[in-house]
Chain A
Amino acid sequence: MRPTIGFLLALVLGSFALTSTQSTADNWPTPPATVAPVPPQISGPLTGGTADHTKFEALKQPFASGPEVTKACLSCHTETGQHFMKNIHWTWERRNPDTGQLLGKKHLVNNFCTNARGNEGMCAQCHAGYGWKDENFDFSDETNIDCLICHDTTGTYYKTPNSAGSPACSVMFEGKPAIDLALVAQSVDLPQRANCGACHFNGGGGDNVKHGDLSSALKSPTRELDVHMGVDGLNFACTACHVTKSHVWAGSRYEIAAKDHEGIGKPGQRRDVATCESCHGLAPHPVDSLAAFKRNDHISSVACQTCHIPEFARGGVATMTDWDWRTAGKTRNGAGYHESGYTQGNGAHRYTYKSIKGSFTYAENLVPLYRWFDGQMRYTTIDTKFDVNQPVAINDFTGSREDGDSRIWPFKVMRTWMPADVGNGTLVYNHLWGEDDDSYWGNYDMGKAIEHGMKEFGLPYSGQFGFVETLSYWPITHMVAPKEDALACESCHAEQGRLKGVEGIYLPGRDHNRWLDLIGIIAIAGTLIAILGHALIRLFSPKGAKH
């Protein structure tokens, strides 16, 4: 198909205006702004549903606990439990078939709060289940599934840590209003942005801390902030793109489709990816100008996100860019404290120091890092040995123009000084949360906390902890701006453009051959000097003036 298009190029080009004036009228593909009232969020093919949950007898009972609600749900949705227990929201575990690495929150160390492992009493608030606080959690009991955290629409449902933790911490979760479980159960619907956002907007321990492109600003965003989710635009729920089949979602952090070769697919197909191409196809720009043709050309090398997400951490909510655990553990009068030092776009204050975590740096409206990316993340896991004197990538990636699967992607870079076993040259499981005297959060003794965390899982620990500089890379894919805000050519086609440092390509406007330019300029200057000389001699020659 592409060659055919190519050979027709010369013919077709003749009929185009230099820039299209027609295309601006209907504003395609940017949807028109809709007027209030805001319609329900679009959740894909299931939008609208087939049942009214207020009419189900099974839900008209005074529920005493979450699992009781789950039992009622499963009494109708008979297979859902088995489906659900296969997904990553439940397993928190993922074996990468290509690298063989055992991933998932259950195992990984990140460079935010470091590790969920051993701290599930706190961290597993974001597990889609009830009561995971230690290794004894039963992953085969489907009544432990928490249906409501994703399907509640009342906004009254919430979760608290699965274990008490240190008294210094548990005080934060006291005094919350009781949940009317029957009301919540009868109000279920397809997940709204706020449902997913309860965890995904707060990754890393706070609003937009981790991803940079997923913040509470997306609960009710403008079209300008996110063209898909904007309430004055398409008003997509997350699942409009992260389409679901048997409670497994399209789109993976661990194996990203960095270059989609399939596009839209036939009706009913494509439940495997949440790529832009799965809706927009492989030639997304309507060819109404030469520039649009060239843009479609770029798709083989440049991810859609690169041009269409000019900046992340927009919408007034900052993201964290630097975290320094070295300063953690300072106390005042024997107690932990925190300091606000950053006021973000929406006026909210962010902590720049917390005794339990250290110092933070925030930023907003960030220009991403751009690199070739094949979609495959390689993690520094708990058993990876590395040189503690060098910055280490918590998740590294590769990619090149030549491998066929890579494109130039935007990334958020997170830089953290975090605890490590400097004797053995490994990362550590830090025992942050617990009722015992070793938990860092409450006792502030890093050595004890690490020793406890490593011992709990039978991991080798040299007894010598220190801090290492770590980097993590977060592909940016949300906060897609309307097309009028997309990058222009010269954002990259310029000497100091955004793709400075991206290798493996010849980029006109950015790349020059120094020597050729020098020779060319000398040749032109030389010609001018020769002409000038010739002309001057003519001018001052006795009979030369006329001829």
Chain B
Amino acid sequence: MAIRRVKIFSLFERFWHWSQMLLIMTLMFTGFGLHGFHHLLNFEHAVTVHTFAAFALLLLWAFSIFWLFTTRNWRHFIPTVKGMWQVLRYYILGIFKGEHHPYRKAYWRKHNPLQALTYLMLKIVLFPLIWVSGLAYLFYFLWRDAPQATEWLEGAALVHTGAAFTMVVFVLIHVYMLTTGHSFREHIMPMISGFDEVDLTPEEEAYLLKDEPEVIR
């Protein structure tokens, strides 16, 4: 086994991450404005920006889902308990003792178990909640005459707002995590350059060196 710098985040993946970040920030800012938490934008502009940002994010998602499944990258997000305890123990205890992060990135496991589970939950629980409730809200004019439409709309708004609060919590923890382990900069660089330290098997290393020399340094 050898630690090598390997390109684990492709150009598309980095574009996806950062444009998604910008769109989510925009949606949170405009969304909490619409909710009445601030009045920095007038309602008309906030609705317009929120809606277009949502459509843009939907489009991005359509591409990313396609990408995940055609490139087999979805496998990074398969949940596992193997190593989960060590990671949890590190954040609860080890980190204060100056221990090293127990997880080593593998070529086909670029996220630690806690990350993988978190991102999976984000993808299959939180995002769908936001999308379904948001689209229901956006297309309210199509079902406004359905029985109890107002109650359903209120329910959709509740789910949407609740999911938004959860997103804020995720973002806060996500950003804080960057300060742990390595330095903040070292954590952020892989998502910019694409390269991170990965524990390669001799076969993987040999393969990459021979067939994909541009992704290994």
Residues of chain A touching chain B, judged by Cβ–Cβ distance below 8 Å, are 2-3, 6, 9-10, 13-14, 18-19, 289-291, 294, 297, 300-301, 401, 404, 488-490, 493-495, 504-506, 508-513, 516-517, 519-521, 523-524, 527-528, 531, 534-535, 537-538, 541-544, 546-547
CA distance in complex: A493, B39 (Å): 11
Q: Hey, which chain B residues are within 8 Å of A542, CB to CB?
A: 97-98
7 sample A-B contacts, Cβ–Cβ < 8 Å, listed by A number: A6-B141, A19-B48, A290-B47, A506-B157, A508-B34, A509-B36, A531-B172
Please tell me if the beta carbons of A544 and B35 are within 8 angstroms of each other in the complex.
no
Residue B213 is within 8 A (CB to CB) of chain A in the complex? no
Tell me the bound Cα distance from A517 to B55 in angstroms: 26
- Which B residues are CB-close (under 8 A) to A10? 55
**Chain B residues positioned under 8 Å from A490 (CB to CB):** 39, 42-43
Are B153 and A506 in contact (CB-based, < 8 A)?
Answer: yes
- Minimum CB–CB distance from B160 to chain A (whole Å) comes to 10
Q: Which of B4-55 contact A (CB under 8 A)?
A: 34-36, 39, 42-45, 47-49, 51-52, 55
> A401-B150, A547-B180 are contacts. A18–B43 as well, Cβ < 8 Å?
no
> B residues within 8 A CB of A506?
150, 153-154, 157
Docked complex Cα distance between A97 and B162 (Å)? 49
Q: What count of chain B residues pass the 8 Å CB interface test?
A: 45
A34 CB to nearest chain B CB (Å): 30
Q: Nearest CB to that of A490 among chain B residues?
A: B43
- Beyond A18-B49, A524-B165, whether A547 also contacts B154 by CB under 8 A is no
Chain A contacts of B173 at CB under 8 A? 527, 531
Q: Is B168 an interface residue (CB 8 A)?
A: yes
- Cα-based distance from A232 to B23 in the complex (angstroms): 47
| Nearest residue, chain A, Cβ from B177 | A531
Which residue of chain A has the shortest Cβ distance to B100 in the bound complex? Answer: A547
CA distance A490 to B164 in the complex (A): 22
Contact surface of B with A, Cβ cutoff 8 Å: 34-36, 39, 42-45, 47-49, 51-52, 55, 95-101, 139-142, 144-145, 150, 153-154, 157-158, 161-162, 164-166, 168-169, 172-173, 176, 179-181
**How close is A19's CB to chain B, nearest CB, in angstroms?**
7
- Whether A535 lies near B179 (C-beta < 8 A) is yes
A407 to chain B, nearest CB (A): 13
The residue of chain A having its C-beta at the shortest distance from the C-beta of B144 within the complex is: A300
Assembled-state Cα–Cα distance A320/B51 (Å): 44
- A516/B100 in contact, CB under 8 A: no
Could you tell me the distance between the alpha carbons of A528 and B47 in the complex, rounded to whole angstroms? 28
CA distance A542 to B99 in the complex (A): 11
Tell me if B48 and A527 are in contact (CB < 8 A).
no
> In whole angstroms, what is the CA distance A531 to B174 when docked?
11
Instruction: Please determine whether A541 and B97 come into contact, CB atoms closer than 8 angstroms.
Output: yes
Distance of A511 from chain B, by nearest CB (Å)? 7
Q: Which residue of B lies closest to A520 (CB)?
A: B165
| B45 close to A18 (CB less than 8 A) | yes
Contact A489 B169 (CB under 8 A): no
Contact of B158 among A14, A513, A543 (CB under 8 A): A513
Question: Are A488 and B141 in contact, with the CB atoms below 8 A?
Answer: no
Once the chains bind, are B47 and A291 in contact (CB under 8 Å)? yes
Find chain B residues with CB under 8 A from A301 CB.
144
Q: A508-B35, A534-B176, A538-B95 are in contact. Are A2 and B162 (CB under 8 A)?
A: no
Shortest distance between the CB of B147 and any CB in chain A (Å): 9
The chain A residue sitting closest to B160, CB to CB, is A508
Cα(A13)–Cα(B157), bound, Å: 22
Assuming the A-B contacts A508-B157, A524-B165, A543-B97, are A489 and B172 also in contact, with contact meaning beta carbons closer than 8 angstroms in the complex? no
Given the interface pairs A2-B142, A6-B142, A546-B98, the reply to whether A18 lies near B176 with Cβ below 8 Å is no
Apart from A493-B43, A527-B169, 5 more pairs, CB < 8 Å: A495-B36, A509-B36, A527-B173, A531-B172, A544-B96
Write the chain B residue with the least CB distance to A299. Answer: B141
Task: For B95, list chain A residues within 8 Å (CB).
Answer: 538, 541, 544, 547
Contact A509 B44 (CB under 8 A): no
A538–B47 CB distance below 8 A: no
By a CB distance below 8 angstroms, the chain B residues around A3 are 142
The verdict on A543 contacting B51 (CB below 8 Å), with A6-B141, A520-B165 known, is: no
- Residue contact B161 to A513, C-beta cutoff 8 Å: yes
Q: Give the docked Cα–Cα distance between A510 and B161 (Å).
A: 14
Q: How far is the CA of A541 from the CA of B96 in the complex (A)?
A: 5
Assuming the contacts A6-B142, A297-B141, A516-B158, asked whether A488 and B36 have C-beta atoms less than 8 A apart, the reply is no
Identity of the chain A residue whose Cβ is nearest the Cβ of B141 in the assembled complex: A297
Chain A residues lying within 8 Å of B162, measured Cβ to Cβ, are: 516, 519-520
